[in-house]
A and B are shown apart, each in its own frame.
Chain A
Amino acid sequence: MLIASRRQIDSDEFGGGYVEHWTTREFASYIRENDKRGNIFLARDHGGPWQNPAEISASLGLRDAMESAKRSYAADIDAGFQILHIDPSIDPYGSPRTEDVLDRVFELYEFCCSYAGQKNREVAFEIGTEEQSGTTSSQQELRETLKQVFEFTEANDLPGPSFVVVQTGTRVMEARNVGTFDSPIRVVGEVPAEILLPKMIEICNSFKILMKEHNTDYLSDESLAWHPRLGIHSANVAPEFGVAESRAFLNLCREQGRSDLGDQFLQISLDSQKWKKWMLPNSLASDEARAIIAGHYIFSDERFMSIKQSLQDHCSKKAIEVDSFLRSAVKTAVMRYVSLFRLAN
């Protein structure tokens, strides 16, 4: 599954996302053209009102933000996205009550089903949010949310959701997972993953819905290998692959005696400030570590592309193809999951 957030990929109306500046349509076309065996599912991650920063900076009210989110979903469905995550948990005007979030879920859910029906498309749904708190969804909250959503879909003769985002004790900060899943010792204020995880899986199974873990990045091999055995149905990985690409780029610059290009990349990334949301309080991370954490946000920046071209020009003499080198690094990172989840030998 390729799962794009609205920040990463969005429709023409929003000017695309930070990934290649692609619009939803362009992104989907690129995948279709390159997915020769048709193995890839296109999925929307965290769709919903105010999930595109433009909706916040335009100070949209609820109605306008909901309409904007619907247009984004419509573009997803038009482009052939097969799984839509309905996540209206963000609200710049204050924390919405659970009932309000659910009302928004129902409205968006109904819209997507109706629009997909008109377009003769089949879509599956993911609900829930993780908010990276470590234990956001208590058992009671999860059970109640699922109960209400299934009541809604049954009453309206709509397909039930296929996935629910559940906290399993994963939390990404900086370039590591600081949640309870990987921690053999107690994380203050949180329910140990040993308790949390089996309970959440039990609840998901009782509703016959697949559990989706967010923030799986950087978990140890041991923890990943336990995922299928523990009954975790799906897992979302994001920044780790971007960081793998940034590290590979930096290493290549240094190996090829072009540290100057690596330094320029680091500086642009550091200046972007995109690392801020990933830092632990009172972090002692170096500037380089911060820059690597934010590297993937600037891969589409013209300055970076120019740096990359300079590196390519330099490497061409040695028959090194930079993109292919970077792809290989990302593939290695992806294959760790594929292998440990036993998706391939």
Chain B
Amino acid sequence: MAVDGEIADVFVVEAGSDLAASSRYASWRADWDEAIRAGLRFSRGMNFGLSQLWNEQKFGNYEAFLLLPNDVEFSEGSILRPLVHDLDMHSKIGIISPCSDQWGERNLIPEAGVRYFWFIHNTALMLRREFIQSIANFEAADYMNFLFDGRNFRGYACEMELIAKAYANDWAAAISRKVSVRKNETHLLSKADLIKTEPYEENLLLYIEEGRRWLRQKYGFNSRWSMQLYTKYFYDKFFEFHPELQEFKI
């Protein structure tokens, strides 16, 4: 925030069970039994934060929201300005993600450039407010329903669903090489007991199992490939409708 502080506010969702170890920067605390017992994870955590902003009538104060889990690290320098600049330059982008030097996609994007994708990992997603407004559940603005489907607890494939909703509603999802991001899983790998979560391998299995079950129950999709083709269909249609953006298609 030393770099981008003047153009951003930071909100922290705290869902830890150990009050003594809670973040002193917490904006809101998930204090109900289930959250204390199991935590919130990505989908519920982001829903909780965003819905709190909505319920506190602060949502409209912002043009975009950068969703960050706590194991995300950025390269030095400004994070927000380049991404906001990309949003300004690309009015159809609803979701933009920084790129990682660990991603092969890096080679598909020109240096400091932007390309539109139908598949992006949810490491650090910046969402345009208008995009959220076009798909969010304002009737149930809570940690289960606001933007992501909270029934998918660990969130496998939740970003696929978000991107599908974007293209289905005439918004694009992009990766920008102006900002570099990296997930630091060291804590999950070596300090799972302190975080009071499952060990890495177990968490991974549950993440995939739960996500697959959710895909099946919600969409009748038995494979991630079904979701991919579903999203890719809308992606291709987007460019039929916006041929002027063809140069950003991968």
Contacts and interface: CB of A to CB of B under 8 A. Distances in A.
Interface of A: 134-135, 138-139, 184-186, 188-192, 194-196, 198-199, 222, 226, 229-230
B105 A195 contact: yes
A189 B118 CA distance: 18
A188 to B, nearest CB: 5
B119 A192 contact: yes
Given A185-B208, A191-B108, A195-B119, A230 B102 contact: no
Interface in B179-227: 204, 208, 211, 222-225
30 contacts: A135-B104, A139-B108, A139-B250, A184-B156, A184-B224, A185-B204, A185-B208, A186-B121, A188-B102, A189-B102, A189-B104, A191-B104, A191-B108, A192-B104, A192-B105, A192-B119, A192-B121, A194-B119, A194-B224, A194-B225, A195-B105, A195-B108, A195-B117, A195-B119, A198-B232, A222-B223, A226-B223, A226-B225, A229-B225, A230-B229
Contacts of B104: 134-135, 189-192, 196
Contacts of A226: 223, 225
A222 B225 CA distance: 9
Closest 6 pairs between A and B when the two form their complex, measured CB to CB: A191-B104, A194-B119, A190-B104, A226-B225, A194-B228, A188-B102
Given A188-B102, A226-B223, A195 B118 contact: yes
B241 interface: no
Given A191-B108, A192-B104, A196-B104, 20 more contacts: A135-B104, A138-B107, A138-B108, A139-B108, A184-B208, A185-B204, A186-B103, A188-B102, A190-B104, A192-B105, A192-B119, A192-B121, A194-B119, A194-B225, A195-B118, A195-B250, A198-B228, A198-B232, A222-B222, A230-B229
- Among B104, B121, B225, find the residue whose CB has the most chain A CB atoms closer than 10 A: B104
Nearest to A222: B223
Nearest to A191: B104
A188 B211 CA distance: 21
Contacts of B102: 186, 188-189
Interface string B81-124: 00000000000000000000011110110000000011101000
A196 B223 CA distance: 17
Given A184-B156, A185-B204, A186-B121, A191 B105 contact: yes
Contacts of A195: 105, 108, 117-119, 250
A189 to B, nearest CB: 6
Nearest to A188: B102
Contacts of B204: 185
Contacts of B225: 194, 226, 229-230
Contacts of B108: 138-139, 191, 195
Nearest to B222: A222
A186 B208 CA distance: 12
A191 B223 contact: no
A222 B224 CA distance: 10
Contacts of B211: 184
A185 B208 CA distance: 9
A259 to B, nearest CB: 33
A199 B208 contact: no
B234 to A, nearest CB: 13
Nearest to A139: B108
Contacts of A222: 222-223
Contacts of B228: 194, 198
